[in-house]
Structure 1
Amino acid sequence: MQFTSALAIYFLFWVLTGLAMLPFGFEPVPRDDPDYVPGQAESAPRHFRPRRVILRTTIVATALFALFFLNYEMGWIGIEDVDISRLVTPPE
C-alpha cells in the first residue's frame, strides 16, 4: 500500500470516528440552569471540549486503522471469505 493511500484511508477512519465520538461524554444544559441561554437547543453541550474529542478520536482511529492495515498486510479476512451470494439470492 502506498503512503498516500494509507494516509487517505487513515483520514477517512479519523473523520468517521470523530463523528461517532461527538455524542460521548457531553452533558446538556437543563432549562433551569443559570448557564442556559434562552433560545439555545436543549441538546447543546454544557462544556464542549474539542481537545478531548480530538484526542479520543485520534486514539480510536489509530487503533482501527492499525487493525485495518494489519488485515491488509496479513490477509486475515479477504473478499473470498465473504459469501455475498447468500445476501443476494433469497433462501429456498
Structure 2
Amino acid sequence: MTFAFAVSMYLVIWWIVLFAMLPIGVRTPEEEGESTVPGTPESAPHTPHLLPKMVATTIVSSIVFAVLYLIIAERVITIDDIPFFPRYEHVQ
C-alpha cells in the first residue's frame, strides 16, 4: 500500500464517519425551548458541537483505517477466504 493510497483512503473514511456522526445528539432550538431566529430553518441545530464530533470522528476513523490496513497490507483476509467469491486459477 503506497503512502498516497493510505492517505486518500483515510480521508475518505474520515469524511464518511464525520457525516455519520453529525446527526448524533443534535437538538433544534425548539427542542431547547428557544425560538428560532428569523431566516434560519427550523431544523437547524441549536449547538452542533463540531469539535467533539471531529475528535470522535478522528478516533473512530483511525480504528477503521487500522483494521482495513491490516486486511489489505498484511493480508489478514484474502479473497480466497471469502466463501462466495469465485475461485480462479492463476495464469502463468
SS of corresponding position for 2:29: coil
User: TM-score, normalised to structure 2's length?
Assistant: 0.76
- Conserved? CA contact 2:13–2:65, under 8 Å: yes
Displacement after TM superposition at 1:56 (Å): 1.2
4+ runs deviating over 6 angstroms: none
1-side partners of 2:26 and 2:41: how far apart? 14
User: TM-score, normalised to structure 1's length?
Assistant: 0.76
Give percent identity, aligned residues only: 32
Which residue of structure 1 aligns with residue 57 of structure 2?
A: 57
Kindly provide the amino acid, as one letter, of the partner of residue 80 in structure 1.
Answer: D
Unaligned runs of 5+ in 1: 86-92
Relative distance call for 1:81 and 1:42 in structure 2 (3 A) is farther
The root-mean-square deviation of aligned C-alpha atoms, in Å, is 2.2
1-side partners of 2:63 and 2:76: how far apart? 17
